[in-house]
Amino acid sequence: MKIPVAMWVVVLMILGGSFPCEGQDALSQATGSQSTSRLVPASEWEHSHEGPYGEALLRVEKAIRCNCGCNLDVHTCQYQMQCGTSPEWSRRIYQSLEAGEADEAILAGFTADFGPNVLMTLPTEGFNWVAYILPWVALLAGAGVVGMVLRHRGPATIPDLSGPDMTPEGWSRIEDELRRLEEEERTSDF
């Protein structure tokens, strides 16, 4: 059975995202915007964390998760995975910083365009609190269960290792044997 090419295109679009249309860059297609201003071309822009925006660029890049599927932040993805998304996003961040936008505004723009999962750390609001609280609740519940099991099990019985009480005759035999061993040891040394 032959699968038509159109079916493969649909499957690839579903699994791998969408393909940029002619005259539209990947970032504007992903955001759904038909912006007339394009990002700075790669030949004119050099990615650097030096200069007036270097620290802010690095800070924002590390706060945003690349959506190429690697689950790395934009900065790490750009140098580790070398995908096509992270350089575009870095340029977008840099241009926003040049335009005077604050970090929070840039993050809000990415969140508006790509959803809250684009952030490396989910905001602590709404249902996201579950991700922060649930591990601690599970840890406390597990400790409680272990404590209850140990309490109902009762104290462990320690075997009596003291043995029978020694009589004075037993002590005297031990002392005699120790003296005899010491005497043998002294005579065998020379």
Report the helix count and the strand count for the chain, using DSSP H and E: 8, 0
Instruction: Give dist(CA 126, CA 111) in Å, integer.
Output: 15
- 16 lies in the same domain as 71: yes
Instruction: Check pLDDT > 70 for residue 80.
Output: yes
State residue 93's pLDDT score. 92
Instruction: Check pLDDT > 50 for residue 40.
Output: no
- 76 lies in the same domain as 131: no
- 53 lies in the same domain as 138: no
Per-residue pLDDT tens digits for 153-171: 877 777 777 767 788 898 8
State residue 177's pLDDT score. 96
Coil, strand or helix at 140: helix
DSSP secondary-structure letter at 84? S
User: Would you say the C-alpha torsion 176, 182, 183, 184 has a positive or negative sign?
Assistant: positive
- 133 lies in the same domain as 116: no
* Angle of helix 85-98 versus helix 103-114 axis, rounded to 10: 140
- 83 lies in the same domain as 140: no
Per-residue pLDDT tens digits for 48-72: 777 888 888 889 999 999 888 888 8
Q: Which of 16-20, 32-36, 43-47, 64-68 has the highest mean pLDDT?
A: 64-68
Nearest to 39 by CA among 96, 1, 98, 92: 92
Per-residue pLDDT tens digits for 96-134: 999 999 989 999 999 899 888 888 887 767 776 787 788
Nearest to 103 by CA among 147, 68, 63: 63
Contact partners, residue 15, CB within 8 Å, separation at least 6: none
State residue 187's pLDDT score. 86
- 70 lies in the same domain as 86: yes
Place of tokens 């140990």: 150
Instruction: Copy the structure tokens of residue 109.
Output: 């723009």
State residue 39's pLDDT score. 46
Total structural domains within the chain: 2
Structural domain for 19, as ranges: 5-121
**Partners of 73 in the β-ladder:** 65
- 19 lies in the same domain as 107: yes
